Chains A and B, each alone.
Chain A
Amino acid sequence: MGSKMSGTRPDKSKLYHPQMPATWWLQKSSYLLFMLRELSSVFIAIFLIVYLVQIYQLTRGPEAYTAFAQNLSSPGWVVFHFLALLFSLFHSITWFQSTAVVMPLRIGARELPRQLMTGLNIAALIAVSIVILIFFNMLRG
């Protein structure tokens, strides 16, 4: 490819090749937010593993489960779960923002505004969360 153009190409030995510094993601707030979005998956993954272990403890009987639940109420785990909640909310919002970009809804020739699509998705998330909360509250009652 490009053999016909090779005569017009610069002498590669004289080019300066800039290198990206390891701290490139600190150079712009948008890069930092991207890295935080990627990091959120680590918190969500750890939360899910802990959750699976919690379910496994249920199969080992009430004593094992209570002991595990007590461990989870230690300050370290509470802080972790608080951070995991923040990261999962951040991840959800960026996910819904992405949805509007990746899967646009068209009405005729026009695309539905992205903010509206993101807003509708977040409203649906809130509505489903409320329904689940009511359902579990009823089970407890």
Chain B
Amino acid sequence: MADPTVTLNVTRYRPGQDQAPTSQRYTIPYKTDWVVLDALNYIKDQMDGTLSYRWSCRMGVCGSCGMMVNGVPKLTCAAFLRDYHDQEIRVEPLMNFPVIRDLVIDLSDFMDKLKSVKPWIIRKTEKPVSEGEYLQSPAELESYKQFTQCINCMLCYAACPVYGLEPDFIGPAAIALGYRYNMDSRDEGKDSRKDILTGHDGVWQCTFVGECSEVCPKHVDPAAAIQRTKVDAAKDWFKSYLLPWGQK
């Protein structure tokens, strides 16, 4: 009996050569313990060295190998061939991003947005090391812990139709990280993130489709972070305009 095979239908785009992406089929050996990334590595090593894609850790930590697998944003290091048994597997670059080459997308827009939400702890005044750590209770940690799991893989951006239609939208992961630091009891930078998180391209662009949270490989819930930021922003607005002691 012939060894089992599987066919991958892979998007190709050669800048300066192709006007638009095309697709190319590769039939490769089928192994039950292979993931889509293993299949791509096999193609690159054995069949077509010109195929370009990003990858690094192969264990769902680095967030580099996100692609569309049969139309769904996936980390290809965690998408097993056996879950697509008996089908041709369509591998495309992450949706909603400009394509540099083949399966490689341009990250620069995301990197700018990520930086704009200041995803680090901001203190009004730093206390000296001699005074010890900034202490935090388990309940305080729990309020933001899940949002620390984000690996910046951008699957949530590929799943978000709002980002696809409004590319200026700050987007799920960046807002989730902004929220993560706003919720951190050690942080004092909420005011400096306010303009970007609740401004024109911030949380109010989100129509709560909810797919960002569905596709997250680390079970982060960016949709919740966005909606909770909306509630916070609405509360702040009421306080600033309706209460005499509110800060404008």
A residues near B, CB below 8 A?
A: 1-2, 5, 9-12, 14-18, 20, 24-25, 27-28, 30-31, 34, 38, 98, 101-104, 106, 108-110
Contacts and interface: CB of A to CB of B under 8 A. Distances in A.
23 contacts: A1-B116, A2-B108, A2-B112, A5-B111, A9-B108, A10-B106, A10-B108, A12-B98, A14-B15, A15-B98, A15-B100, A16-B13, A16-B18, A17-B98, A20-B165, A28-B71, A31-B209, A31-B211, A98-B208, A101-B223, A101-B227, A104-B224, A110-B142
B20 interface: yes
A102 B203 CA distance: 13
A34 B207 CA distance: 9
Nearest to A21: B164
A109 B231 CA distance: 21
A31 B71 CA distance: 13
A16 B111 CA distance: 19
Nearest to B145: A109
A30 B13 contact: no
Interface of B: 13, 15-16, 18, 20-21, 71, 95-100, 106, 108, 111-112, 115-116, 138-139, 142, 161, 164-165, 207-211, 214, 221, 223-224, 227-228, 230-231
Contact of A24 (B20, B142, B164): B164
A98 B230 CA distance: 13
Contacts of A102: 224, 227-228, 230-231
A135 B100 CA distance: 66
A32 B66 CA distance: 24
B99 A31 contact: no
A14 B221 contact: no
B214 A15 contact: no
B74 to A, nearest CB: 14
A64 B165 CA distance: 48
Top 6 A-B pairs, shortest CB-CB distance: A14-B15, A15-B98, A102-B227, A109-B139, A16-B99, A109-B142
Contacts of A17: 98-99
Contacts of B208: 34, 98
Contacts of B97: 18
Contacts of B223: 101
Contact of B108 (A5, A18, A110): A5
Nearest to B211: A30
Contact of B139 (A9, A15, A108): A108
B96 A109 contact: no
A100 B15 CA distance: 46
Contacts of A16: 13, 15, 18, 20-21, 98-99
